């Protein structure tokens, strides 16, 4: 059984070692571009997956208190082949826009690779008041790109191109308008003009400037005559929404045109484009303005339950639709209604292109908890936005909603809705916990004691320790008064069916041969006398046998 | 009336010092409200007044971390871990701090605090021997032999436990480097710097020499650092007093 145990343990160890040897060293990390930013700045959260074979599926990062907004701003992929094993490294960037000051905890980001979930650690970002930030959100005048990367979105041109020849291909980028307001889109139109065919599809690396949200339009194909030649034109338009004011330069876009078997690849580049982003005017800015920029917005609001009891909650849904990017609008304006506590829940937005125009929809959800009984009016719910074409602010208000709060039949106490719910390990301790302890050190004394006990146990359990019998059991000092009693005493001394076994028994006890012979003689004489029936000789014999028996303990030790 | 005023004054004089005493709840309140500096002052006072505990050290670590001092925060959390080795929250905080302070070429740490206390380790080392001895005595009493597999299991358990405990037991004196780019000297006071240590590295303290301490890194390198550049992982004074009284 012990052998089987050893064999199964060895097999398990081998299997574990084999699995470990094959497993790639995979790693998931998250890092921030800056630990502290001002309210009008942005930061970048980079989630990196390295050493995986499959591409990860990443959940959007969130914060517990909803004080930060995250927008996916790019993905970089690189591949490596080491010792025949291919692995991917994927870095996903999220631009963080702060919604309010304070110290915000970014929850661990979970990415799933091959059905297995990997989680990063949580991060902290401090948001200070405007003008006191430590930097990290101001975008430089030139956008620092990494080396061109393979596009992960379907932005490659899916059509075949003619064979590359000189002046057969032209590329141009048009940016309009060149001066915009913050959050107003800039349209970057990349046009590829081709007058010949290519052996394979061109490789296209779209720009991904930091500090912008991006919405891509569908590719459009057209034709154009230029300098007497007809070109097939493919255009890809992208809307870039700047997150903060300043001057930005879009790096040149590069397209690689693969040649035939005997021709080198041709690389076409656009010229860099510079835009200027103006700050939103502060004059005339309503108090309810929360960042929306566009020309058309719609606002609707509704309560999930218009009648509730005190102590329970309901949800307020505010739906906004417009031509601006609603990821830049963290919330619509909600005044501080008396008798109601509110907490904003997650509210994803959907921004797409519809008939050549940008359409953004977002439903903002708020959990409302009334603190008093009665009829509560939710009025002045509004969305203010800046119209760049008119250069003025507009305000849309939702109709007033009415919430009826009935008394709680159980009279339960209410608790505030707005408490921040930190993870347990982030909460300060209110109890002392353990107050005593010892610094760890090698327990030599316990090791020695344990070894000693073990050895003692082994010694006691070891086989082959002979049993030591008493050489001569303690005889009763009482004189035998009859032959049967004497015979019983002799039997007790040497139990055994015959003289041979009795001899072996007595020799094992250390009896001398003479003592054994004498005992057998006593036994024989007593037995003969007992069954012989000579009464007068029995008394004398009994006396003699008693004397000889009493003398035996001395003789047995010789 | 005058007597009442004097009585009231006397009462205030008594209550005020008591009320002004730092408490763990005050430290937690300060942390919740973002007053990390105040929380740090309170936890330091708790330690000076011999009210140090796991909770106080944990809050001290949170305050230091919020103040942007991750190396000292690590020292506080490591000290808290000595008192409560199986605290998952403390280990999580240490993991996050380690990731935050990670940098290429950073020297490895010495062995960290294991998941069991010293008393538990000593108990674990005695259990196999005691069990085997008890079983052997019982077998002898029955005049029977102890099966060989029981002897083998007990022996292997003892060997494995000893190996595990010895392999995971850290050095008795450890410290965390709290100064960025601390220069590791070959000799104290006037030695040449052999390498620079980033803040947050945990090392073993070997010896003391005036204002210098001899240290050993996780990769086996030794050298000298200034005492002010490291934060030694000591127990709170309350724990030290309790340990001393137990020994007596």
Query: Is residue B14 pLDDT above 80, yes or no?
Result: no
Lowest mean pLDDT segment, chosen from A168-172, A504-508, A514-518, B19-23: B19-23
Could you tell me which chain B residue has the CA closest to the CA of A424?
B89
Rg (CA), chain B: 24
Average model confidence (pLDDT) across chain A: 77
Task: Quote ipTM for the complex.
Answer: 0.75
Q: List, in order, residues 6 or more apart from A201 with CB less than 8 Å away.
A: A156, A157, A158, A159, A160, A161, A258
Q: Identify the H or E element spanning B78.
A: helix B70-83
- E strand residue ranges, A371-429: 374-378, 382-387, 392-397, 401-406
Instruction: Kindly state the average pLDDT of the residues A418-439.
Output: 73
Q: How far, in Å, CA of A296 to CA of A230, rounded?
A: 39
Lowest mean pLDDT segment, chosen from A540-554, B16-30, B89-103, B106-120: B16-30
What is the reported pLDDT for A139?
Answer: 31
How confident is residue B20, by pLDDT bands cut at 50, 70 and 90? Answer: low
A259 close to A203: Cβ distance less than 8 angstroms: no
Query: Is residue A134 pLDDT above 60, yes or no?
Result: no
- Count the neighbouring beta carbons within 10 Å of the beta carbon of residue B91: 17
Tokens 């620092």 sit at which residue?
A144
Q: Is pLDDT larger for residue A481 or for residue A22?
A: A481
Instruction: Kindly state the average pLDDT of the residues B42-69.
Output: 86
Q: How far, in Å, CA of A240 to CA of A358, rounded?
A: 11
How confident is residue A555, by pLDDT bands cut at 50, 70 and 90? Answer: low
Query: Is residue A395 pLDDT above 60, yes or no?
Result: yes
Phi, psi of B163 (to 5 degrees): -60, -45
How confident is residue A51, by pLDDT bands cut at 50, 70 and 90? Answer: confident
Provide the pairing of β-strand A110-113 with A116-119: antiparallel
Could you tell me which chain A residue has the CA closest to the CA of B147?
A461
3-state DSSP call for residue B210?
A: coil
- The CA distance from B21 to the nearest CA of chain A, in Å, is 16
Task: Inspect the interface and report whether the beta carbons of A438 and B169 lie closer than 8 Å.
Answer: no
Q: Which two tokens stand for residue A477?
A: 């000092």
Query: Is residue A311 pLDDT above 90, yes or no?
Result: no
B126 DSSP assignment: H
Q: Considering only residues 79 to 98 of chain B, which have any Cβ-Cβ distance to chain A shorter than 8 Å?
A: 82-84, 87-89, 92-93, 95-96
Q: Which two tokens stand for residue A158?
A: 């899916």
Per residue in A97-118, pLDDT tens? 887 788 888 888 888 777 777 8
What is the reported pLDDT for A433?
Answer: 83
Q: How far, in Å, CA of A448 to CA of B122, rounded?
A: 10
Average model confidence (pLDDT) across chain B: 84
Closest by Cβ to B125, choosing from A429, A440, A450? A450
Per residue in A520-546, pLDDT tens? 998 998 888 877 655 555 678 888 888
- Count the neighbouring beta carbons within 10 Å of the beta carbon of residue B126: 19
Closest by Cβ to A446, choosing from B34, B52, B126? B126
Closest by Cβ to B128, choosing from A35, A121, A450? A450
Per residue in A337-363, pLDDT tens? 888 888 777 666 788 888 888 999 988
Q: Is pLDDT larger for residue A296 or for residue A258?
A: A296
Q: Is pLDDT larger for residue B15 or for residue A99?
A: A99
Q: Is pLDDT larger for residue B138 or for residue A533?
A: B138
What is the reported pLDDT for A23?
Answer: 43
Lowest mean pLDDT segment, chosen from A38-52, A78-92, B212-226: A78-92
Name the range with the highest mean pLDDT among A11-15, B84-88, B182-186.
B84-88
Instruction: Kindly state the average pLDDT of the residues B77-98.
Output: 92
Q: Which residues pair with B215 in a beta bridge?
A: B205, B223
Q: How far, in Å, CA of A452 to CA of A168, rounded?
A: 91
Lowest mean pLDDT segment, chosen from A135-144, A472-481, B88-97, B225-234: A135-144
A349 close to A327: Cβ distance less than 8 angstroms: yes
Q: Is pLDDT larger for residue A473 or for residue A194?
A: A194
Closest by Cβ to B118, choosing from A103, A432, A440? A440
Q: Does A418 touch chain B (CB under 8 A)?
A: no
Q: How far, in Å, CA of B217 to CA of A360, rounded?
A: 57
Q: Which two tokens stand for residue A8?
A: 């199964």
How confident is residue A153, by pLDDT bands cut at 50, 70 and 90? Answer: very low
Query: Is residue B99 pLDDT above 80, yes or no?
Result: yes
Lowest mean pLDDT segment, chosen from A11-20, A307-316, B209-218: A11-20
Query: Is residue A210 pLDDT above 80, yes or no?
Result: no
- Count the neighbouring beta carbons within 10 Å of the beta carbon of residue A462: 12
How confident is residue B163, by pLDDT bands cut at 50, 70 and 90? Answer: very high
Query: Is residue A178 pLDDT above 70, yes or no?
Result: yes
Q: Does A129 touch chain B (CB under 8 A)?
A: no
A505 close to A494: Cβ distance less than 8 angstroms: yes
B32 vs A contacts (CB less than 8 Å): 428
What is the reported pLDDT for A257?
Answer: 75
Maximum C-alpha span of chain A: 162
What is the reported pLDDT for A412?
Answer: 46
- The CA distance from B103 to the nearest CA of chain A, in Å, is 12
Q: Which residues pair with A318 in a beta bridge?
A: A301, A364
Concatenating the DSSP letter of every residue in A241-279 gives EESS-EEEEEPPPEEEEP--TTS--EEEEPPPEEEEEEP
Q: List, in order, residues 6 or more apart from B162 with CB less than 8 Å away.
A: A447, A450, B125
What is the reported pLDDT for A384?
Answer: 92
Whether cis (ω within 30° of 0) applies to the bond prior to A37 is: no
What is the reported pLDDT for B94?
Answer: 93
How confident is residue A470, by pLDDT bands cut at 50, 70 and 90? Answer: very low
Q: Is pLDDT larger for residue B232 or for residue A533?
A: B232
Lowest mean pLDDT segment, chosen from A7-21, A521-535, B83-97: A7-21
High-pLDDT (> 90) share of chain B, %: 35
Closest by Cβ to B82, choosing from A1, A437, A452? A437
**A102-106, strands of its sheet edge to edge:** A36-38, A123-128, A102-106
Per residue in B194-209, pLDDT tens? 888 888 999 999 999 8
Q: List, in order, residues 6 or more apart from A414 with CB less than 8 Å away.
A: A310, A311, A369, A371
Rg (CA), chain A: 48
Instruction: Kindly state the average pLDDT of the residues A318-329.
Output: 89
Name the range with the highest mean pLDDT among A151-155, A255-259, A461-465, B233-237.
B233-237
Q: Which two tokens stand for residue A422?
A: 């930190």
Q: List, in order, residues 6 or more apart from B230 with CB less than 8 Å away.
A: B175, B176, B177, B178, B182, B203, B205, B213, B215
Mutation to test the A interface, candidates B55, B88, B104, B161, most A Cβ within 10 Å = B55
How confident is residue A159, by pLDDT bands cut at 50, 70 and 90? Answer: very low
How confident is residue A39, by pLDDT bands cut at 50, 70 and 90? Answer: confident
How confident is residue B234, by pLDDT bands cut at 50, 70 and 90? Answer: confident
Query: Is residue A309 pLDDT above 70, yes or no?
Result: yes
B136 DSSP assignment: H
What is the reported pLDDT for A170?
Answer: 87
pTM for the structure as a whole: 0.41
What is the reported pLDDT for A199?
Answer: 58
Q: Which two tokens stand for residue A126?
A: 């401090």
Q: Which two tokens stand for residue B202?
A: 């945990």
Name the range with the highest mean pLDDT among A166-180, A473-487, A530-544.
A166-180
Q: Does B146 touch chain A (CB under 8 A)?
A: yes
A437 vs B contacts (CB less than 8 Å): 82-84, 117, 235, 239, 243
Instruction: Kindly state the average pLDDT of the residues B132-140.
Output: 88
């Amino acid at each position: 059984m012990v052998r089987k145990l050893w064999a199964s343990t060895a097999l398990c160890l081998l299997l574990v070692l084999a699995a470990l040897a094959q497993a790639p060293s995979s790693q998931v990390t998250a890092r921030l571009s800056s630990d502290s930013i001002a309210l009008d700045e942005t930061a970048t959260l980079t989630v990196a997956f390295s050493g995986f074979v499959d591409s990860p599926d990443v959940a959007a990062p969130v914060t517990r208190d909803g004080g930060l907004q995250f927008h996916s701003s790019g993905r970089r992929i690189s591949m490596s082949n080491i010792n025949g094993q291919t692995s991917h490294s994927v870095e996903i960037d999220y631009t963080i826009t702060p919604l309010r000051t304070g110290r915000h905890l970014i929850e661990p980001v979970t990415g799933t690779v091959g059905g297995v979930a990997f989680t990063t650690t949580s991060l902290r970002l401090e948001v200070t008041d405007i003008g006191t930030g430590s930097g990290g959100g101001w975008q430089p005048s030139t956008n620092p790109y990494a080396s061109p990367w393979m596009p992960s979105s379907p932005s490659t041109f899916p059509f075949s191109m003619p064979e590359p020849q000189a002046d057969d291909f032209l590329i141009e980028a048009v940016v309009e308008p060149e001066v915009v307001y913050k959050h107003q889109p800039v349209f970057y139109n990349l046009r590829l003009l081709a007058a010949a065919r290519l052996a394979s599809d061109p490789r296209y690396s779209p720009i991904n400037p930091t500090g912008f949200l991006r919405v891509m339009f569908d590719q459009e194909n057209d034709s154009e005559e230029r300098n007497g030649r007809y070109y097939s034109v493919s255009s890809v338009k992208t809307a870039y929404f700047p997150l903060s004011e300043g001057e930005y330069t879009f790096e040149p876009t590069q397209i690689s045109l693969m040649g035939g078997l005997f021709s080198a690849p041709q690389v076409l580049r656009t010229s860099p484009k510079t835009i200027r982003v103006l700050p939103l005017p502060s004059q005339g800015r309503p108090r309810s303005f929360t960042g929306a920029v566009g020309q058309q917005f719609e606002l609707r609001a509704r309560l999930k339950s218009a009648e509730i009891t005190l102590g329970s909650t309901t949800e307020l849904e505010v739906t906004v639709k417009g031509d601006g990017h609603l990821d830049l609008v963290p919330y619509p304006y909600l005044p501080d209604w008396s008798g109601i506590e509110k907490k904003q829940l997650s509210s994803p937005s959907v921004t797409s292109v519809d008939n050549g125009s940008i359409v953004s929809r977002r439903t903002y959800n708020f959990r409302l908890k009334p603190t008093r009984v009665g009829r509560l009016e939710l009025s002045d719910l509004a969305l203010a936005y800046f119209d760049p074409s008119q250069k003025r602010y507009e305000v849309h208000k939702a109709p007033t909603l009415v919430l009826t709060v009935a008394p709680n039949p159980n009279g339960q106490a209410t608790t505030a809705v707005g408490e921040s719910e930190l993870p347990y390990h982030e909460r300060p301790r209110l109890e002392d916990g353990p107050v005593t302890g010892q610094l760890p050190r090698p327990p030599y004394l316990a090791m020695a004691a344990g070894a000693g006990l073990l050895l003692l146990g082994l010694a006691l359990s070891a086989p082959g320790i002979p049993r030591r019998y008493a050489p001569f059991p303690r005889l009763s000092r009482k004189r035998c008064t009859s032959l049967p009693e004497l015979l019983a005493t002799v039997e007790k001394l040497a139990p055994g069916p015959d003289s041979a076994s009795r001899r072996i028994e007595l020799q094992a006890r250390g009896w001398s041969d003479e003592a054994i012979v004498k005992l057998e003689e006593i036994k024989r004489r007593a037995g003969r006398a007992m069954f012989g029936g000579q009464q007068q000789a029995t008394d004398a014999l009994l006396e003699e046998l008693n004397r000889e028996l009493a003398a035996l303990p001395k003789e047995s030790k010789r | 009336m005058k007597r009442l005023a004097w009585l009231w004054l006397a009462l205030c004089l008594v209550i005020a010092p008591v009320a002004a005493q730092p408490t763990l709840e005050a430290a937690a309140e300060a942390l919740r409200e973002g007053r990390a500096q105040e929380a740090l002052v309170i936890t330091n006072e708790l330690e000076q007044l011999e009210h140090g505990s796991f909770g106080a050290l944990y809050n001290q670590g949170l305050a230091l971390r919020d103040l942007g001092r991750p190396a000292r925060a690590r020292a506080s959390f490591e000290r808290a871990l000595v008192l409560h080795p199986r605290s998952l929250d403390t280990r999580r905080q240490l993991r996050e701090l380690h990731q935050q302070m990670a940098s290429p070429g950073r020297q490895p740490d010495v062995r960290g605090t294991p998941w069991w206390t010293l008393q538990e380790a000593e108990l674990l080392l005695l259990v196999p021997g005691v069990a085997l001895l008890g079983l052997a005595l019982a077998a002898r009493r029955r005049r029977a032999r102890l099966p060989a597999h029981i002897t083998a299991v007990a022996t292997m358990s003892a060997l494995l436990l000893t190996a595990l405990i010895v392999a995971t037991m850290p050095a008795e004196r450890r410290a965390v480097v709290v100064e960025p780019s601390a220069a590791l000297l070959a000799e104290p006071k006037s030695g040449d710097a052999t390498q620079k240590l980033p803040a947050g590295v945990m090392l073993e303290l070997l010896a003391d020499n005036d204002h210098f301490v001899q240290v050993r890194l996780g990769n086996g390198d030794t050298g000298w650092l200034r005492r002010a550049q490291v934060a030694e992982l000591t127990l709170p004074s309350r724990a030290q007093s309790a340990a001393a009284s137990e020994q007596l």
